[in-house]
Amino acid sequence: MLPVYVDLDDVLSDTTKSFIKILECEFGKKVNFEDIFSFDLKVSFNLTEIEFEHFFQMVHQPDVILEFAPMERAIGVLEEWTELGYEVSIVTGRLTAAYETSIAWLAKHNVPYHSFAMVDKFSRKNIDRDIAISLEDFSELKFSLAIEDSAKMALYSSQKMCIPVALINRLWNRMANLNNKIKRFRSWYDILNDFPTP
Ligand SMILES: [Mg+2]
C-alpha cells in the first residue's frame, strides 16, 4: 500500500486563520478570512516586501506555530486510516527553520504519521537544502493520494506524479483551473466519505 501525502498548513493545521490576529497586532491591518483571495499572502494582506519578510519570519516562530489549531476532523481521519494499516506522509513547504517546531506540533496533537518531509514546493528563500528536498526529487516518490490546499501542488501532483488529489476548498484556490484527477472537498468529513481508505 502506498502512503497518503498530507500537506500541513491549511490541510492539517488551520494556519492561515491564525494569521489574521498577528496581522492586526503587528501591522494594524484588519483583514477578514473571507478576503484572502490569493495564495500569495503578500498580495492578500497588501504588505510591502519588507513587511512580508517580517511577517513570514514571525509566523514561523515556534511560539506561533505551536498555537495553530488542527483542522476539524483531520487528525481523526488520519487515526482511522492508520488503524487500517495505511501510512501517512506529512509533506510541507514550510521554511526549514520550522522543522523541529513542526515535529513538536505533530507530537502535541498526537498526529499519527510515518514520515515527515520538507519539500521546496514554492521556491522560497531561506530554505536549507540539507533539510528540504527539491520538487524534482519529491516527484520520484509514490503516493496513493495527495491532500492539498495549494492549486499549484495539486496540479503538480496530479500531472507530474500522477496521483489523485483531494483539494481542500480554500478561498485562494477557488479560481484555479483543475484537471480530472483533482477533486474538491469542503472538509475532512467529506474526504472520509469519499475515501474510507486512501
Ligand atoms: Mg498548505
Model confidence over 96-137: pLDDT tens digits? Answer: 999 999 999 999 999 999 999 999 998 888 889 999 999 999
CA of 46 to the centre of ligand 1 (A): 20
CA of 74 to the centre of ligand 1 (A): 13
CA-CA distance, 188 to 186, in Å (whole number)? 7
pTM: 0.94
CA of 84 to the centre of ligand 1 (A): 25
CA of 15 to the centre of ligand 1 (A): 8
User: Which of 35-39, 45-49, 180-184 is predicted least confidently?
Assistant: 35-39
Q: Which of 99, 100, 136 is nearest to 118 (CA)?
A: 99
Q: Which of 104, 17, 116 is nearest to 69 (CA)?
A: 17
Q: What is the mean pLDDT of residues 137-166?
A: 97
CA of 28 to the centre of ligand 1 (A): 25
pLDDT of residue 125: 82
pLDDT of residue 41: 87
- What is the Cα gyration radius of the chain? 16
Task: Answer whether residue 36 shows pLDDT above 90.
Answer: no
- Whole-number average pLDDT of the chain: 94
Residues 71-81 pLDDT 10s: 999 999 999 99
CA of 85 to the centre of ligand 1 (A): 25
Q: Answer yes or no: are the C-beta atoms of 30 and 24 closer than 8 Å.
A: yes
pLDDT of residue 87: 98
CA of 8 to the centre of ligand 1 (A): 6
CA of 30 to the centre of ligand 1 (A): 23
CA of 173 to the centre of ligand 1 (A): 11
CA-CA distance, 45 to 37, in Å (whole number)? 9
Rank 119-128, 156-165, 169-178 by mean pLDDT and report only the highest: 156-165
Q: What is the mean pLDDT of residues 175-190?
A: 96
CA of 25 to the centre of ligand 1 (A): 23
Task: Answer whether residue 192 shows pLDDT above 90.
Answer: yes
CA of 39 to the centre of ligand 1 (A): 9
Q: 167: number of CA atoms within 13 Å, CB side?
A: 26
CA of 6 to the centre of ligand 1 (A): 9
Q: Answer yes or no: are the C-beta atoms of 121 and 132 closer than 8 Å.
A: no
Task: Answer whether residue 40 shows pLDDT above 90.
Answer: no
User: Which of 48-52, 103-107, 143-147 is predicted least confidently?
Assistant: 48-52
CA of 1 to the centre of ligand 1 (A): 24
Q: What is the mean pLDDT of residues 40-55?
A: 90
CA-CA distance, 192 to 77, in Å (whole number)? 7
Give just the sign of the alpha carbon dihedral 77, 83, 85, 91.
positive
